[in-house]
Amino acid sequence: MGEPQYFPYDEQAIAHLKARDARLAEAIDIIGPVRREVTPDLFASLVNCIVGQQISTKAQVTIWKRMTDAFGDVTPEVIAACSDDELQRFGLSFRKVGYIKGSAERVLSGELDLEGLADLPDDEVCRRLSELPGIGVWTAEMLMTFSMQRPDIMSFGDLAIQRGLRMLHHHRRITPQLFAKYRRRYAPYGSVASLYLWEIAGGAVPGMRDWAPKNAKGSRSVRKKG
C-alpha cells in the first residue's frame, strides 16, 4: 500500500488565508497543520466513493478492504471482468454494482479520459465526473479534492463546510450568495480553507458553536467527508 499521502499545501497558502480572514487566521493558529489523507488513483477513489454511499464509514472500510484484498488494484479492467454477482458478494447493492460497472465502461470506452481531466479547469472536471452514474456534484468535488488534489475546491453541498462557516463567522444560515463571497475570499486556496472548516465543524476550536437556529431542519447535520 505504501506510505500514506496527505493533501499538499504550503506556507504561501496559509499566509494568503490568514491575510484574507482574521477569524480563520485565529482558528488556523489554534488548529495547526491539517493532515488529510489523499488517494491519487482517481478510478479507485471513485469506486470507493460509490461503495461508501448511504452506509457507515465502518461498513465502507470493510467492503473496500474485501475488494482490495481480492483485486489488489481496483481498475476499470478488473471491474469490467467481474460479473454483477461477483461484485454483489463483496456487500454491494445491485444499484451500486450498476454505478461501478457503468463508470468502468465509460473509462474503457474512452468516453471519459481520466488522465485527460488533469488538463481541464475545475468546472469542466466537476461536470464530467458528475455525469458518471451515481456521482453527484458533491462526490465529484470530493474526488477533485482528495484524489486529484485540486487546490481551490469548496463544496456548497458539504454541510460540514457550511457548519464551519456558521461557527467561524456567526452566521445563522449560509446562502449561496454568502458562500460565493467566502469562496472568492479564499481563492485560490479553497481546498485548504475547506480542510480548516471541516476541523472547525468537528469541534477543533474550543468555545466555537453553531449559530444555526436549533429548529432549522437539517441545519445541524454534518455530511460525511471524503
Q: Are residues 94 and 116 in the same domain?
A: yes
- Domain assignment of residue 22, yes or no: yes
For residue 216, the model assigns a pLDDT of 55
For residue 2, the model assigns a pLDDT of 72
Q: Are residues 83 and 52 in the same domain?
A: yes
Within the chain, what is the greatest distance between any pair of CA atoms? 54
Residues of the chain with pLDDT below 70 are 1, 216-226
Q: Are residues 45 and 128 in the same domain?
A: yes
- Domain assignment of residue 68, yes or no: yes
- Domain assignment of residue 206, yes or no: no
Q: Are residues 26 and 58 in the same domain?
A: no
Domain count, the chain: 2
- Domain assignment of residue 19, yes or no: yes
Q: Of 75, 54, 52, 78, whose CA–CA distance to 63 is shortest? A: 52
Start-end of H helices in the chain: 11-20, 22-31, 42-51, 57-71, 76-81, 84-88, 94-109, 122-130, 137-146, 159-169, 176-186, 190-201
- Domain assignment of residue 225, yes or no: no
Domain boundary, last residue among 146, 171, 191: 146
- Domain assignment of residue 27, yes or no: yes
Q: Are residues 32 and 45 in the same domain?
A: no
Query: Tell me, what amino acid is at 17?
Result: L
Q: Are residues 115 and 18 in the same domain?
A: no
- Domain assignment of residue 220, yes or no: no
SS3 49: helix
Q: What is the span of the domain harbouring residue 183?
A: 5-36+153-201
Q: Are residues 93 and 139 in the same domain?
A: yes
| Strand 37-38 versus strand 5-6 pairing type | antiparallel
- Domain assignment of residue 108, yes or no: yes
d(CA 80, CA 150) in angstroms, rounded, equals 28
Q: Are residues 52 and 110 in the same domain?
A: yes
